[in-house]
């Protein structure tokens, strides 16, 4: 087996007396679509927040492609090549969909305010490049027709696509999706799954939190099962289906 | 006729001087969502810096360097910017109303320092005899004020142009993203602390510029020029004119200053002399009233925010 792309090593996180993440370790192989499942309150999103730098860890570390992410601020984690979406999407509501995308790549000359005074030509050229790239990504995510809309006017499913589209502006090494299929209608969900599979074929690695077992079982391998802050099981779809502890803690019945 | 004209010139000078400070607040609040309730403090820093740098020397008081007007303006912006860096760093972790309370308290502290640190500020007497550069260029008061107005118009235009270049641009897009959702912005690789601080400091420098022009125009500075009511007025100007729109900020300054001075004039005409002292409070009530009416019926202000941020991303 090759060296894993993302490595979670004995991560602990408590809030007061409550241990939200209680010694989690697992590896996400390069090029995989890994699934992270488990009952509500298992600590999945907390783990995402730790990986992406929003939360500090009490102990343990997270390694991405040989680089230690632990201790980095969220914007530095993103710069290291890890991008994530949110369970409840976080678009920039009063900005156009196009600019929700154009803001992402970095470094941008125009993000240094003085460059807009002294190097307007360079800023303009880069903006044109960003715009062309954004239009490609919007087409890939079926969002072209809403490019000029305020992001807050999109539907819930489109918000999920928008979050994925934003990430694709940056070419990250790994993409963390927090419940991409939640609240998404079946056709749009098919769309989303197709995009994920296509991106995976292009070489993107994914780690996905999801409750929709059809999605998880059909696209994710390996699958990690969390319960009460601990790793309950890891394996492939067939193994998850047949493991007694997973059935008991999460699935409840055979599927 | 000359009386009306000279009053209009006087009126526009003060409206635009406040307008520059409103542009600074617009950068902080309108574009970045920073609730700075300490505008008066930064006006004061700029005003006193101007007075100390350009004013005449006097016994037992620091300063009086008699430096050129332009040096005074730059020094005032630098001093307010430095104040912005220090206060910005201290309050970097505060958001929303917490930042408002902190900056309000700091502005009151600055005002009290101005009132009591006599060696630096002249205390309650303030600093007088601040040179107005137009007095060397013309002798008639009307001509002097006309020149000062031309200069303030030019400065306002320069500030407006400079701001438009940077806010209708990728930099402004990041400001707006942080205003809209800071967690999303930092998860997408933006450094909110640095960007918030930059916006805060630039805004404070503009407030310092406004304070300096105010002091150079009226020729003296005293702690009573920078009471918390001025913060309230600057805020009302921004909300009435249109937050996150630089033209709105300037328009709001003119409209609200017109209401303030106009109501003062009317009150002085219709209220009996024995109640004149109390009637000044009516002005503040009126400003509060238009603020509330604006928030209720025109929350985006007279000229609201535009949807597109970068001028390169119009559809």
Inform me whether the pLDDT recorded for A53 exceeds 70: yes
In the stretch 16-35 of chain A, residues with CB closer than 8 A to chain B read none
Inform me whether the pLDDT recorded for B250 exceeds 70: yes
Core vs surface per residue A191-218: b (16+ CB within 10 A) or e: bbbebbeebbeeebbbbbbbebbebbbe
How far is Cα A133 from Cα A152, in angstroms, rounded to an integer? 22
How far is Cα A69 from Cα A11, in angstroms, rounded to an integer? 12
How far is Cα A95 from Cα A243, in angstroms, rounded to an integer? 46
ipTM confidence = 0.91
User: What is the pLDDT at residue A254?
Assistant: 52
Band (pLDDT 50/70/90 cuts) for residue B65 is: confident
Segment A160-216, tens digit of pLDDT: 999 999 999 998 999 999 999 888 888 888 888 999 999 999 999 999 999 988 899
Asked if the Cβ–Cβ distance from B177 to A92 is below 8 Å, we say: yes
Inform me whether the pLDDT recorded for B315 exceeds 80: no
Band (pLDDT 50/70/90 cuts) for residue A81 is: very high
Distance of CA A103 to the CA centre of its chain: 18
User: What is the pLDDT at residue B161?
Assistant: 97
For chain A, what are the domain ranges?
6-91+171-251, 93-153
Summary mean pLDDT of chain B? 92
Inform me whether the pLDDT recorded for B172 exceeds 90: yes
User: Does the domain formed by A6-91+171-251 have CATH 1.10.3720.10?
Assistant: no
How far is Cα B82 from Cα B86, in angstroms, rounded to an integer? 6
pTM of the model: 0.93
Three-state DSSP state, A87: coil
Q: Which of B160, B168, B170, B202 should be substituted to probe chain A, the one whose Cβ sees the most A Cβ atoms within 10 Å? A: B170
User: What is the pLDDT at residue B224?
Assistant: 92
User: What is the pLDDT at residue A246?
Assistant: 82
Summary mean pLDDT of chain A? 92
Segment A202-221, tens digit of pLDDT: 999 999 999 988 899 999 99
Residue A109: its chain B contacts at CB < 8 A? Answer: 170
Distance from CA of A243 to the nearest CA of B (A): 35
User: What is the pLDDT at residue A198?
Assistant: 94
β-pairing, A174-178 vs A205-209, is: parallel
How far is Cα A108 from Cα A122, in angstroms, rounded to an integer? 10
In this predicted structure, which of A123-127, B125-129, B295-299 has the lowest mean pLDDT?
B125-129
Distance from CA of A90 to the nearest CA of B (A): 6
């Amino acid at each position: 087996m090759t060296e894993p792309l993302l490595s979670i090593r004995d991560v602990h996180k408590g809030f007061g007396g409550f241990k939200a993440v209680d010694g989690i370790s697992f590896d996400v192989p390069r090029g995989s679509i890994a699934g992270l499942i488990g009952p509500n309150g298992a600590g999945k999103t907390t783990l995402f927040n730790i990986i992406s730098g929003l939360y500090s860890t009490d102990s343990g570390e997270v390694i991405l492609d040989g680089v230690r992410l632990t201790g980095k601020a969220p914007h530095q984690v993103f710069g290291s090549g890890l991008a994530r979406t949110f369970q409840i999407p976080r678009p920039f509501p009063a900005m156009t969909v196009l600019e929700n995308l154009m803001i992402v790549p970095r470094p941008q000359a125009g993000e240094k305010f003085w460059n807009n005074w002294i190097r307007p030509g360079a800023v303009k050229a880069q903006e044109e490049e960003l715009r062309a790239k954004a239009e490609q990504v919007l087409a890939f995510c079926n969002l072209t027709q809403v490019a000029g809309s305020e992001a807050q006017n999109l539907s819930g499913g489109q918000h999920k696509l928008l979050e994925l589209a934003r990430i694709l502006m940056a070419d990250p090494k790994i993409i963390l999706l927090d419940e991409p299929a939640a609240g998404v209608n079946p056709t749009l969900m098919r769309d989303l799954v197709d995009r994920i599979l296509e991106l995976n074929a292009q070489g993107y690695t994914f780690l996905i939190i999801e409750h929709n077992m059809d999605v998880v079982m059909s696209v994710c391998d390996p699958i990690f099962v969390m319960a009460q802050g601990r790793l309950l099981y890891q394996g492939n779809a067939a193994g998850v289906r047949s493991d007694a502890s997973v059935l008991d803690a999460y699935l409840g019945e055979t599927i | 006729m000359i009386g009306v004209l000279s009053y209009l010139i006087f009126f526009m000078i003060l409206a635009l001087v406040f307008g520059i400070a409103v542009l600074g607040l617009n950068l902080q609040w309108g574009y970045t969502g920073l609730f700075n309730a300490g505008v008066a403090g930064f006006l004061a820093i700029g005003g006193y810096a101007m007075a100390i740098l350009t004013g005449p020397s006097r016994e037992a008081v620091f300063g009086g360097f008699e430096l050129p007007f332009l040096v005074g303006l730059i020094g005032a912006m630098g001093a307010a910017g430095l104040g912005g860096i220090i206060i910005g760093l201290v309050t970097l972790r505060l958001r929303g109303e917490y930042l408002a309370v902190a900056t309000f308290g700091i502005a009151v502290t600055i005002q009290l320092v101005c009132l009591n640190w006599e060696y630096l500020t002249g205390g309650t007497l303030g600093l007088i005899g601040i040179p107005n550069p137009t007095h060397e260029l013309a002798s008639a008061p009307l001509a002097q004020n006309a020149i000062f107005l031309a200069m303030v118009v030019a400065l306002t235009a320069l500030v407006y142009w400079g701001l438009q270049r940077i806010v209708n641009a990728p930099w402004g897009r990041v400001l707006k993203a942080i205003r809209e959702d800071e967690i999303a912005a930092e998860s997408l690789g933006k450094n909110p602390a640095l960007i918030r601080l930059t916006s805060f400091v630039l805004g404070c420098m503009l407030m310092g510029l406004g304070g300096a022009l105010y002091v150079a125009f009226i020729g003296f500075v005293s702690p009573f020029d920078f009471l918390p009511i001025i913060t309230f007025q600057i805020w009302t100007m921004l909300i009435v004119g249109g937050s996150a729109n630089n033209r709105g900020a300037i328009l709001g300054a003119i409209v609200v200053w017109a209401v303030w001075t106009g109501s003062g004039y009317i009150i002085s005409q219709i209220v009996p002399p024995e109640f004149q002292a109390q009637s000044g409070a009516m002005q503040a009530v009126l400003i509060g009233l238009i603020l509330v009416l604006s928030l209720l019926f025109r929350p985006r202000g007279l000229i609201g925010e535009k949807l597109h941020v970068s001028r390169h991303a119009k559809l």
